[in-house]
Amino acid sequence: MKPSLVLKMGQQLTMTPQLQQAIKLLQLSTLDLQQEIQQALDSNPLLELIEDTSDTGSNSESSDSSDEHQNELTQQASSNSSSDDNSTDTANTSSQDQENEGSDSLYEDQWAEQIPSELSVDTAWEDVYDSLPPSTGNSSSGSDEDFDYTARNSTAETIQSHLHWQLNLTPLSDNDRLIAIAIIDAVDESGYLTCSLEDIHESFDPELEIDLDEVVVVHRLLKQFDPVGVAARDLKECLLTQLTQLSADTPFLEEAKLITQKYLHLLGNHDYNQLMRKAKLKEEQLKQAILLIQSLNPRPGSVIQDENSEYIVPDVIVQKRSDRWTVELNTDATPRLRINASYASLVKRADSSSDNTYIKNHLQEARWFIKSLQSRNETLMRVASCIVEHQKGFLEYGEEAMKPLVLHDIAEAVGMHESTISRVTTQKYMHTPRGIFELKYFFSSHVSTSSGGECSSTAIRAIIKKLIAAENARKPLSDSKIAKLLEEQGIKVARRTIAKYRESLSIPPSNERKRLV
């Protein structure tokens, strides 16, 4: 074949840098968007934040008036004063300064005499320094009073650090301390021992001549540390350790120890009839013993959690005003930007120098960035308003009134592609009178009803949760029974679907929900 030139016509979608930036900002969460804005502010000198100028304006007005008043006083003083008056004023000023210095030093001497040279052991700082003079004490503003130094600067405590702190306060020999450290290092986040005592014993150097009995004794000591039951090898040992710490006159203590020691598996299976028969307990005795066991902590390590609080900042706020649901953007979530007018005025059209090119390029980037932010806010508002319009029943009556909704419905309503709606609703949150929800929460599949309508899966989950909450604890509802109850309401749902919805709500099956009460 000979090489030749051929002309063809076709359409091709090109992703411009502006479009790529708009899509990138559209799918970012609030925290990620704030980081992106901060990076843009650091890299582009033509971008700046729009700060609240309400207080600044009042301060500037007051400062201007004070400056004008000061200028008037200066003019009057210059026209009416003489050299003699100036010398007299200087002398008076120096004498007043000396008097002030003398009074201040006298006051400080008197205050210092009130402080004892040595403080007793139980003396607190506030007992002596509570009545500091205003001139010498450090002034604290209202914001400083609300500042929680411990919460912002302290490191999160772990179960190991908590146990090591108690170990340092316990007098032990060198070998026992090594054993205790090895046991503490083998404790997991729940507070349980992750390996056997034999493995811990074999891990030591034979030259130390540590016996297994020493490991058992130190392990028994560690189980008494706070929280009680920590470093236990299983649930039975953890609960028994906590029961032994209770007072001997605790009601139904012996029954609780008997159940925990021998019949804990029956209690876990909720086989109360066999439990009463084997333990030879009456129903009331079993009920009180179970209540005592339920008051214990099966996961002692959960008392000390190494978790940082994560806060959700809503992107949109929904409120009801004058019998209408209104949607507005959360202005506190995203900073407002503008172009620095001083730098923008330095751009010259005909100048091709490097400085002018630098400013011109950053000016164009700043305009694109601000336009992309505006496009993101407009798209988010349109999608959120459409969701609120479609889910008014949820806002009025709750989850049971949730309507089925898919991405295609919102895409048709706002005239956008489904992929765009997916980006907008991912990691975006809406603040409503019923709580803060992700925009994805309002989308759910549907189930046909006997009347030919549709019911949302979210509404079905709410109905299942309501039925289980009102069930008889002695005879909990099975999945088949719940399916029949829903069918009576005109909702056709299979038993397997009920089981799937129940598991998504973290609700155990009927045999595990059985109670004596």
Is there a contact between 393 and 454 (Cβ–Cβ < 8 Å)?
no
Is there a contact between 279 and 255 (Cβ–Cβ < 8 Å)?
yes
Residue 336 has a pLDDT of: 86
Count the Cβ atoms, other than its own, within 10 Å of residue 16: 9
Q: Which two tokens stand for residue 16?
A: 């411009």
For residue 484, give Cα distances in angstroms to 66, 450, 457, 494. 80, 13, 17, 9
Query: For 405, phi and psi rounded to 5 degrees?
Result: -150, 135
**Integer Cα distance of 316 and 325 in angstroms:** 13
**Integer Cα distance of 165 and 267 in angstroms:** 36
Q: Tell how strand 435-438 and strand 446-448 pair up.
A: unpaired
Q: Which two tokens stand for residue 287?
A: 């009920």
Cα maximum dimension of the chain: 112
**Integer Cα distance of 214 and 221 in angstroms:** 11
Is there a contact between 396 and 274 (Cβ–Cβ < 8 Å)?
no
Measured in residues, the chain has a length of: 517
Is there a contact between 30 and 334 (Cβ–Cβ < 8 Å)?
yes
**Integer Cα distance of 301 and 187 in angstroms:** 9
Is there a contact between 288 and 264 (Cβ–Cβ < 8 Å)?
no
Count the Cβ atoms, other than its own, within 10 Å of residue 507: 17
Count the Cβ atoms, other than its own, within 10 Å of residue 304: 19
pLDDT values of the chain reduced to their tens digit, one per residue, 517 residues: 678 888 888 877 677 788 888 888 888 888 888 899 999 999 999 999 887 655 444 444 444 444 444 444 344 434 444 444 444 444 444 444 544 444 444 444 444 444 444 444 444 444 444 444 444 334 334 444 444 544 444 556 789 999 999 999 999 999 999 999 999 999 999 999 999 999 999 999 888 889 999 999 999 999 999 999 999 999 999 999 999 999 999 999 999 999 999 999 999 888 888 999 999 999 999 999 999 999 999 999 988 865 556 678 899 999 999 889 999 999 888 788 999 988 888 887 767 788 888 989 999 999 999 999 999 999 999 999 999 999 999 999 999 899 999 999 999 999 999 999 999 999 999 999 999 999 999 998 877 777 777 888 899 999 999 999 999 888 899 999 999 999 888 888 889 999 999 999 999 998 888 877 5
Domain chopping of the chain, boundaries: 18-49+310-443, 159-303, 446-517
For 279, how many CA atoms within 13 A lie in the half-sphere containing its CB?
29
Helix (H, G, I), strand (E, B) or coil at 474: coil
Residue 308 has a pLDDT of: 59
Residue 53 has a pLDDT of: 52
Residue 306 has a pLDDT of: 52
Radius of gyration of the chain (CA): 37
Q: Which two tokens stand for residue 142?
A: 């209202």
Q: What is the DSSP letter of 307?
A: -
Q: Which two tokens stand for residue 359?
A: 């400013």
What single letter denotes the amino acid at residue 422?
S
Sheet with 324-329: list strands edge to edge: 324-329, 316-321, 429-432, 435-438
Is there a contact between 476 and 510 (Cβ–Cβ < 8 Å)?
yes
Note the pTM of the prediction, 2 decimals. 0.64
Count the Cβ atoms, other than its own, within 10 Å of residue 513: 16
Peptide bond into 116 cis (omega under 30): no
Residues near 215 by beta carbon (within 8 Å), at least 6 away in sequence: 179, 183, 197, 200, 201
**Integer Cα distance of 449 and 493 in angstroms:** 9
Helix (H, G, I), strand (E, B) or coil at 26: helix
> Per DSSP, which regions of 281-414 are E strands?
316-321, 324-329, 337-339
**Integer Cα distance of 261 and 184 in angstroms:** 25
Q: Which two tokens stand for residue 156?
A: 């999160």
Which helix (H) or strand (E) is 67 found in, with range? helix 54-80
- Domain with residues 446-517, CATH architecture: Orthogonal Bundle (1.10)
Burial track 315-325 (b if 16+ CB lie within 10 A, e otherwise): bbbbeeeeeeb
